[in-house]
Structure 1
């Protein structure tokens, strides 16, 4: 176990980013199609193929996922991931056609100091292709891929990941691109809201303070009380090797959203586009009631841990006025 999303067999992750642009793409690929669904809680989402993931709709398995910066421009990243998969012959076969199914979501990083004057067409399709081509069973955390330009209210955000195993041996893992409107730390740290769920010292081992001071419970968001723009969003993917139906994957995504509430304060705001994709690779049977409940409980834990790691592992952007990284101050 590497404490990564790729602790689920048959899952690969790749990043592609541009330092001048200060933005990028993260691709998640499945060696075999995975049953998947989605749960959206933020008030300002930007998604690709999310309607397809509704349990009432026909297609129940996907070939990859695309997470990107760039706000709505970043939705083109899914086309790049799709193009790479099609070149490999991976997708649904309909006659002579090969159609990879690649849902995706985006976060807002257009004001992070990078040069977004890309000309007529944004670079996210090409970045999506490069991220898919780079996918492997090992990948970096922090300020990479879709997390390169991500921020929180007080610290640089980024890509985090975590994994766990249920008592019955079912694996569940998460990846998060953390670009929250609120804070992942209690005040300015060193404590994380997700500290009760930390395993080892994966985000510093600072634990919880003895008492929460009133000021750390006051609302603190990007743009302050007069915030008017949707400049945020935390994107998360939770994957298990359990055998799930599409409806069960939807329930897993819903339960996994509790991890956002454990790790971000405040969360699921009108200014966020928070989303959880859930996928199952279909290796191990579980009880449909108690087993799924346990799996969802642990999924919430690994998402909370992944969010904290996304901030803990981040590095500051090299621009004037850029937010500091957590480890620069703690």
Structure 2
């Protein structure tokens, strides 16, 4: 369980896991209120839902939840379960006759190599994730959207390692940032010192250094474009404008690019969502950017350190 608490951010996180199928979904929702949101798209092979409305200038600034899900594009259907849970509680954008819950979503490709290709998160799974969401004691590692995640795919499944889901909080004077990362990257994951801790492996277990190998023209035996993605949510406990929040998402993305090498490629669909309260004390955008980056870097590392290996794909965590 995560030691990080999301209570001060007004957020709860819920998972639904299909262990046999090696897939799942994770819902990040407001405990009792909507949040202002923005996003930064880093990769060029994304699978997303309702991200256009997160751009500055769009009518609706609030979101009721963010869905992070496996199942590739099939997994986007699970958002209907989040909407059903929200509508039943009268939560959403008020249109007079009722509400329309705003639920942006992003997917990872986990249809291969673990589990079953036909296993995809469902609307019922997402509904249950909403129902069981909590602000403390949140599970990390091989759970929810991180269940079927893998990293280091330069040499294909035979050289890959287990990815997962991580959560971290970074605090400063007067502001804090939280990050949730689902790491399913083509590239390698590095620690704060720049050392590869999970990535593409040779037969002797040593790491390849994917970024260097790609730069040298080494052929890739990994999956095709669009089968790798790191999807993240960063959240602040201070109010910011939509423009400032978009800058926070982009700044957090630089942390992703430093911890996963390479990232944001043609083969990755990397996306960072950013959330902040709709009301309350205003924060410093500059401080928020740095704290969001720090939190996301730590969450990415935790995602692989807490991932349990399976089906011949090793993980860093003990089973």
Q: TM-score range by the shorter chain?
A: 0.7 to 0.9
Q: Distance in 2 between matches of 1:152 and 1:259?
A: 17
Q: Which among 210, 221, 225 is matched to residue 220 of structure 2?
A: 225
Give 1:159's aligned residue: 165
Change in 2 beyond 3 A, CA 1:145/1:41: same
Change in 2 beyond 3 A, CA 1:283/1:3: farther
Q: Distance in 2 between matches of 1:195 and 1:302?
A: 16
Following superposition, the deviation at residue 5 of structure 1 comes to 6.3
Following superposition, the deviation at residue 327 of structure 1 comes to 3.5
Q: Which runs of 5+ in 1 are unaligned?
A: 186-191, 197-202, 204-212
Give 2:148's aligned residue: 149
Following superposition, the deviation at residue 266 of structure 1 comes to 0.8
Contact 1:22 1:112 in 2 (8 A): no
Give 1:200's aligned residue: none
Following superposition, the deviation at residue 24 of structure 1 comes to 0.3
Is the partner of 2:75 in helix, strand or coil? helix
Which stretch of the first structure deviates more once superposed, 132-141 or 224-233? Answer: 224-233
> Residue deviations 1:50-78, cap 9 Å, x none?
01101121100111010000000011121
Q: Equivalent residues in 2 for 1:257-296 (5 A)?
A: 257-281=253-277, 282-286=279-283, 291-296=284-289
Is the partner of 2:213 in helix, strand or coil? coil
Q: Distance in 1 between matches of 2:265 and 2:67?
A: 23
TM-score (norm 2): 0.86
Give 2:38's aligned residue: 37
Q: Distance in 2 between matches of 1:166 and 1:238?
A: 15
Q: Distance in 1 between matches of 2:18 and 2:208?
A: 38
Following superposition, the deviation at residue 218 of structure 1 comes to 2.1
Is the partner of 1:65 in helix, strand or coil? strand
TM-score (norm 1): 0.83
Give 1:11's aligned residue: 11
* Equivalences, count: 294
Is the partner of 1:72 in helix, strand or coil? helix
Contact 2:45 2:225 in 1 (8 A): no
Q: Distance in 2 between matches of 1:33 and 1:125?
A: 21
Following superposition, the deviation at residue 264 of structure 1 comes to 0.5
Is the partner of 2:20 in helix, strand or coil? coil
Change in 2 beyond 3 A, CA 1:215/1:137: closer
Give 2:81's aligned residue: 80
CA RMSD between the two structures:
2.4
Change in 2 beyond 3 A, CA 1:36/1:71: same
Q: Distance in 2 between matches of 1:235 and 1:314?
A: 16
Q: Equivalent residues in 2 for 1:1-330 (5 A)?
A: 4=4, 6-30=6-30, 31-117=32-118, 122-138=120-136, 139-153=138-152, 154-167=160-173, 169-185=174-190, 192=191, 194-195=192-193, 216=209, 218-219=212-213, 225-227=220-222, 228-281=224-277, 282-286=279-283, 291-317=284-310, 319=311, 322-327=312-317
Following superposition, the deviation at residue 176 of structure 1 comes to 0.3
Following superposition, the deviation at residue 284 of structure 1 comes to 2.5
Q: Distance in 2 between matches of 1:176 and 1:5?
A: 15
Contact 2:9 2:235 in 1 (8 A): no
Is the partner of 2:162 in helix, strand or coil? coil
